[in-house]
Structure 1
Amino acid sequence: MWKRILILLGIISATVFAILIFLVTRTFNQLNNGNFPEARETALKCLYIIEPLSKITFSNNTDLELFKNSLYLISDIPSYTDTLISASNLNHKNNYIFDISGLKITLIDLEQKIQIIDNQINQSKIANKIISEEKLQKFHQFSESLPDMIKFLDSFSNQDQKIIIVFQNSDEIRATGGFMGSYAVLDIVNGKVTEIVTEDIYDADGQFEGFIEAPSGVKEYLSDSKGLRLPNANWNPDFPTSAEQILQFFALGNKKNVTTLIAVNPDYAKLILSITGRITLKDYNTIVDRNNITEVLRSRRGTFFPGSTEKKHILSQLLTQLQIKISNLDEKSKINILQETINQFAYNNIQLYSNVDEIDKIFSKYSFRQELGFKKNADYLFLVESNVGINKANKNITREVFIDKKNNETLITVNFKNNNLSPMISNLSELMGDEIENVNESNNSNKANHLGYVNYQRIFLKQEQNLEYIKYNDSLIVDWHETTIKNSKNEEFKEIGFIITLMEQENSVLEIYLTNNQQNENQIYIQKQPGLPATPYTIKKDSFITQFLLEQNSLINLQ
């Protein structure tokens, strides 16, 4: 009789365990698909089964303990999400407060739980069967990254300091993502952001009275014989190098104790607004959504001047309303914002730099910014555009890139199209004249007084690559600037720069012919400029052809 009871208990336990595996798998699938409320409900159902089951016979079962700890963690997702979101609040003076120290404590708790689960996964046989290798790898990477995140947050607890966020406008493209029209200073005291002050970039620039030699491109088209200035300090596409230059200007302009620089592109703001929905700025009788945010922030630029508070008020009101919107979102949308924020690092729509070496190494380790860099045993290409026409033409510029590789020769062809409507100004030379800064912009980017594209085009190559010729619309360009530069890791690159212009509604063809001192490799590493839209590429190497959309830095196989 006891034997039958034991057999029956074994059958019941096996059946319940099979149901449990089914529900756990369903929980992970719901989690992977972003159905967080459903995943939490399923996790709670699983826990109702696990608790009595573990008391019967599986108390020392590694797989069961793994399921239990994972499900408890999933059921706690809402509390973690609320902690992360609620770390940002408003105080009675309408200044932002972000509790960095509180966020660090939450991550320490999360890291301890994740580490236990990670260790149990390594010992589990079932986990490796029901969870794909790719997902397990991502979980391991996340587990390994948490100590670095905690170290970063902890760096703000040691001393009072400042973070500067520069807002880059990709409609006026520059090397690191766009023209830096405004910035915010975050004061950190005792691990809390006590104040955020937004300013126009020219206010800080006005504090600098020295002279720094401008690099080629800036010197000829942007400096007005005043050398390099703060608004153009993000000229180097290697973000750490540009960030050092930007912080130097801020330091010379009496912005002290700045340890961290963050650059943000409009695509990130547009993404957040696509989740939160539109925002009303009551003081300005304006509705802001993902389609008009860049226009709203620049539509009143004629009223901005050094000392003006209007830009500060617009940005502050926008940030305030955005924070309120986010705090009122449902759980799934809040998590979506966190996930998309992390994803934006891959596209360099958010970039980080720290002048604290230990922290900056963390940023570099996780590719939290664009860095000039090539890959071993791979050819290299980085095309960088800079709008020096002082307008917002880039929004409606499209491009396609074709690369034809034969032996040690490479022909790069870029087809540009300016989709902006024809302007009242028909002579492109006027765009390069002294009065360009005084030309009024229209709120409609398709109907501005001038939207011709004046592009200081640069190409970055390995040292063994040689430029043979450049053609633009079948005409040879003989006046180009070529120099050797180093990235923040002291690696050398060849930089070639030249000016090209494209009137409204025109198509143009740029050809760049290269030779290589070495045989062409079977791979090519192509870096994408932050702020530019995804660009169609076609690469031909002998009989091999591949086509793709370049959305981020990519290593492409050519065989």
Structure 2
Amino acid sequence: MTKHQKLSLLFAAIGLLCLTFAFGILLSANAYHLLRSGKYEQSLKNARQALPIARLVNKTWVSGLKTIVAANTTLLSLQKIQENVDNGETPNITEFAGNLKELEVSAQAVSVNIENSKFLTSLLGSKLGKLDTAIETLTHVVPLAQYFTEGEKTLLVLLQNSDELRATGGFMGSYALLHFNSGSLSEILVEDIYDADGQVQEYFEPPKGVAEFLSGGKGWRLPDANWNPDFALSSQDTLRFFALASRNHIDGVVAINLPVVQSLLAITGPITLSDQDIVLSETNVDQVLRADRDAFFAGSTAKKDIIALATTQLKLAVAKLNTEEKKQIIEQFRQQILRGNVLVYFPNQELEKQAQALGLSGSLGPQTLQSNTLFYYPLESNVGINKVNAAVTREFVMTTSDTLTELGISLHNNSTQDGYVNYQRLLFSPGQDIEQIVVNGEQVSEFDRETVTSSTGQQYDQIGFLVTTLPNNITRIALTLTHSADFLNILLQKQPGTADTTLTSITQNGAKTHQLDQSFLEYMIE
């Protein structure tokens, strides 16, 4: 072979190699694009075809493709679960949990490989934070998914109506029990809260607020069990009642507040409940699920039949959405979690830690309260047994000086018929004293006061008193507290089930407007 022939052969080999690499890059880019477009099977095929080429180059490319493969298999397993539900078959989350674990491992490998490459770190620096956040989320989600693939498990889902506001987001009008057997969802049982309550014969001493305004001399009952502002402790109280109603061995509790359902219907559009001759929409879902409390009785099926049918139709409506609309569903669900409208509790302490890390635990106060921070949590509970909170809005004004803080609360009742009877509470960090409470210009001299402990072990002071707001009226509450001058920050907690609220902070530096649209809002006093 001549020198010229050898060079020609070498150039041909280099050209073929370049074409192969180019083809691999094209396949990889196409796999990523198809994944984002929701074409998971095509994306999976492209990624797998590109893998042998990537192995000739470097491990970062390989781990990236493996992440795309794992993401596709995870999403395809989710689609399979949805198809099972649509076809009336028993869905199984075992495959999904396994794929989720594979996705976590692959994403971690990508992160490590990028961090070990100065070029990639420089190129992708701004996106590394998002990748790390995704990996952190997967680290906490995977154990939760895997837990429900092991043996028999039961999940309690509480449907809380925020139009009748309570501490954790709303009145627990209905619930669902989801039974899993080795990852298969074997049964969904939807019931009215009074079905279980009617089977509880024991008497429990009611907490303050419930005793005076809700118990009717009958003690503490299941419908009012979510009185504690800490969701973990509230869930423990609720599970105690469920156990006495022969609904025990519950492995997890999920609370879903009304705004979650409303936000889903805003994206899917109205759904028809043909068996009930009802069209359910974002604007009327609260009214459809609303019923006369006096008409409830153990064994009644009207409301739970509507809820079961609505759940089925909503799942079908979500399945028909396009990729962009499904992304909107995911984003809206994320926003509702930030607002505290999806809460989770696990009796298993290790799983509860995962829920806390994901921001789902609904704990009273932060995980750790800094010593230089003043904490406040204004909390409403509708004890008027009506759904007036659909027409109630609120505003906060926080005025802080060196040793004095005044929290102003304006409650606007826009209902033309119903009054708002509210057991108003304020929880605040130790080291403060109540100077005075004024409602509509009149001082409140009698109020409940006690020290409460959160599920994280932090102690808080709590006061409570009754406030009534007539139809088409405003109630103005001013709570003045004294404290030392050592504090630098204010931390305010938002109540689940309430709409986004405007807070005006007034300090020596002037006034500033904040939007309380997440579970916590923190700002500096100076």
The TM-score, its normalising length taken from structure 1, stands at: 0.83
Q: One-letter code of the match for 1:193? A: L
- Counterpart CA distance in 1 for 2:54 and 2:239 is 57
Q: Which residue of 2 aligns with 1:113?
A: 106
Q: One-letter code of the match for 1:84? A: L
Q: Which of 108, 116, 140 is residue 123 of structure 1 equivalent to?
A: 116
Q: One-letter code of the match for 2:78? A: L
**CA drift at 1:340:** 3.5
| CA separation of 1:466 and 1:102: change in aligned 2, threshold 3 A | same
Q: Check the 8 A contact 1:36/1:332 in 2, yes or no.
A: no
1:153-302 aligned at under 5 Å gives the runs 153-299=145-291
Q: One-letter code of the match for 1:103? A: F
- Counterpart CA distance in 1 for 2:172 and 2:165 is 10
Q: Which residue of 1 aligns with 2:429?
A: 462
| CA separation of 1:81 and 1:290: change in aligned 2, threshold 3 A | farther
Determine if the alignment matches structure 1 residue 492 to structure 2 residue 459: yes
The 3-state SS of whatever aligns with 1:181 is strand
What is the root-mean-square deviation of aligned Cα atoms in Å?
3.4
Q: Which residue of 1 aligns with 2:506?
A: 540
- Counterpart CA distance in 2 for 1:261 and 1:41 is 34
The 3-state SS of whatever aligns with 1:99 is coil
**CA drift at 1:489:** 2.1
Structure 1: which 5+ runs fail to align?
424-450
| CA separation of 1:309 and 1:42: change in aligned 2, threshold 3 A | closer
| CA separation of 1:221 and 1:48: change in aligned 2, threshold 3 A | closer
Q: One-letter code of the match for 1:495? A: Q
1:56-75 aligned at under 5 Å gives the runs 59-61=56-58, 65-67=59-61, 69-70=63-64, 73-74=67-68
- Counterpart CA distance in 1 for 2:80 and 2:52 is 36
Q: Which residue of 1 aligns with 2:353?
A: 361
| CA separation of 1:205 and 1:89: change in aligned 2, threshold 3 A | farther
- Counterpart CA distance in 1 for 2:96 and 2:50 is 31
- Counterpart CA distance in 1 for 2:154 and 2:50 is 48
The 3-state SS of whatever aligns with 1:483 is strand
1:401-420 aligned at under 5 Å gives the runs 401-420=396-415
> For structure 1, which segment, 460-469 or 146-155, has the greater mean C-alpha deviation from structure 2 after superposition?
146-155
Determine if the alignment matches structure 1 residue 483 to structure 2 residue 476: no
| CA separation of 1:127 and 1:342: change in aligned 2, threshold 3 A | farther
| CA separation of 1:86 and 1:349: change in aligned 2, threshold 3 A | farther
Between the two proteins, the alignment pairs up a number of residues equal to: 511
- Counterpart CA distance in 1 for 2:251 and 2:48 is 49
- Counterpart CA distance in 2 for 1:39 and 1:409 is 59
Q: Which residue of 1 aligns with 2:37?
A: 37
Q: Which residue of 2 aligns with 1:447?
A: none
| CA separation of 1:91 and 1:122: change in aligned 2, threshold 3 A | closer
> For structure 1, which segment, 301-310 or 390-399, has the greater mean C-alpha deviation from structure 2 after superposition?
301-310
Q: Check the 8 A contact 1:263/1:351 in 2, yes or no.
A: yes
Q: Check the 8 A contact 2:67/2:106 in 1, yes or no.
A: yes
Q: Which of 336, 343, 348 is residue 351 of structure 1 equivalent to?
A: 343
- Residues 411-444 of structure 1 show CA distances to partners (whole Å, capped at 9, x for unaligned) of 11112211112x3xxxxxxxxxxxxxxxxxxxxx
- Counterpart CA distance in 1 for 2:499 and 2:153 is 35
| CA separation of 1:335 and 1:124: change in aligned 2, threshold 3 A | farther
**CA drift at 1:90:** 5.3
- Counterpart CA distance in 1 for 2:93 and 2:74 is 14
| CA separation of 1:150 and 1:543: change in aligned 2, threshold 3 A | closer
- Counterpart CA distance in 1 for 2:472 and 2:48 is 65
**CA drift at 1:473:** 0.8
Determine if the alignment matches structure 1 residue 551 to structure 2 residue 526: no
**CA drift at 1:88:** 4.2
**CA drift at 1:299:** 4.7
The TM-score, its normalising length taken from structure 2, stands at: 0.88
Q: Which of 485, 501, 512 is residue 479 of structure 2 equivalent to?
A: 512
- Counterpart CA distance in 1 for 2:323 and 2:118 is 33
1:331-410 aligned at under 5 Å gives the runs 331-374=323-366, 375-376=369-370, 377-410=372-405
| CA separation of 1:464 and 1:98: change in aligned 2, threshold 3 A | farther
The 3-state SS of whatever aligns with 1:131 is helix
Q: Check the 8 A contact 2:140/2:358 in 1, yes or no.
A: no
Q: Which residue of 2 aligns with 1:86?
A: 80
| CA separation of 1:274 and 1:82: change in aligned 2, threshold 3 A | farther
Determine if the alignment matches structure 1 residue 103 to structure 2 residue 103: no
Q: Check the 8 A contact 1:169/1:179 in 2, yes or no.
A: yes
Q: Which residue of 2 aligns with 1:152?
A: 144
| CA separation of 1:164 and 1:42: change in aligned 2, threshold 3 A | closer
Structure 2: which 5+ runs fail to align?
none
Q: Check the 8 A contact 2:414/2:471 in 1, yes or no.
A: yes
- Residues 8-55 of structure 1 show CA distances to partners (whole Å, capped at 9, x for unaligned) of x89x97xx99xx79x97x998x89xxx921998998999799889869
